[in-house]
Structure 1
């Protein structure tokens, strides 16, 4: 295997699907949200044209738009990236829209994508890195069932400057029924 298949995943209250062009306005709102930008990678695009290209790019990879099943509103994003197919390891990334925060959507979506990758795609390890000061992201990693491995000092470069990264992982043995 050299790439993940494009699939939709059901996650209780959520549907995880490829991004669509009509998601651009919501993605733009997230990528310009002050709380998100505090921990966003340095150099993250915010211009509408860049966002349209990003959403089009997202539709071709193992990146999931997370929408509420009840009303179809985009509430987040989960991505698998940096996959090493020889070693069967990958990394997971996520964000939550301001209107979706505080409901456990991110943990539910991350857990769903991790379980899918570990059980049906043959992935042996998923790494997750969270800026230590981003307590919401750290809580998401833990609630999704990822195990803490340690801190990578001064390894993050965000719009707020340098920071430490908390390293987490999930392997098939971590999955609970």
Structure 2
């Protein structure tokens, strides 16, 4: 299997929103997106990519079909050190369990190397998110430590405790 990473456009917004489910909302977004809001978000990601700063996101395609999303953010400092580039990702339900996330993470790490962005790729994940923990381990990331997030909170206002995994670029 080979996945393809490419920038998301307005025409991808409906498929992107259709791929969101309870798992995506729980572990990544915190809520379901709208097509209009998703298009606006894709515009921000495209502007960041053109400027070479901030969070940049890519669609993950498998067999010509949008299978998920991966982004990287060299400006995210929550639990990270200078030179760490935060990675986030989600895989649509139909493509889960087939290695799509691992392949996408490794492909985005290769892009970071080629573009000389950061020194280490970082995955910050809740311990209960066993799928993402497996992705980090399968891709060769090493566990570093647990920390209380300074930006992510539970519904009761308490900080989310995340595990930090790193991969040298």
Return the offset for 1:134.
Answer: 0.8
The answer to whether residue 23 in structure 2 is matched with residue 35 in structure 1 is yes
Q: 2:17 touches 2:32 (CA, 8 Å); kept in 1?
A: no
Does residue 40 of structure 2 align to residue 13 of structure 1? Answer: no
1:122 deviates by 5.2
Deviations along 1:42-76, one digit per CA (max 9) or x if unpaired, are 4x4623321121122233323211101x3x10111
Q: CA deviation at 1:36?
A: 1.4
Choose the corresponding residue for 2:73, options 31, 56, 81.
81
| Per-residue deviation, residues 82-126 of structure 1 (Å, max 9, x unmatched) | 348xx5432111111111111110111101111331354253122
Paired residues of 1:40 and 1:158 also in contact (CA < 8 A): no
With the length of structure 2 as denominator, give the TM-score of the two structures: 0.78
How do 1:70-149 residues align onto structure 2 when only pairs under 5 Å count?
70=63, 72-83=64-75, 87-121=82-116, 123-149=118-144
Q: 1:74 to 1:15 in 2, by over 3 A?
A: same
Name the CA distance, whole Å, in 1 between partners of 2:26 and 2:93.
13
SS in 1 for 2:164: strand
- Is the contact made by 1:38 and 1:158 (CA closer than 8 Å) also made in structure 2? no
User: For the Cα contact (< 8 Å) 1:41–1:158, is it kept in 2?
Assistant: no
Unaligned runs of 5+ in 2: 50-55, 77-81
Match of 1:22 in 2: 11
Matched, 1:151 2:151: no
Query: What CA deviation, in whole Å up to 9, does each residue of 1:5-55 have, x standing for no partner?
Result: xxxxxxx61111111211101221233x1121122344x462332112112
Question: How far apart in 2 are the matches of 1:66 and 1:130?
Answer: 20
Q: How many residues are treated as equivalent by the alignment?
A: 155
Structure 1 portions without partners, runs of 5+: 1-11, 173-177
When residues 158 and 47 of structure 1 are mapped into structure 2, their CA distance, relative to the original with a 3 A threshold, is farther
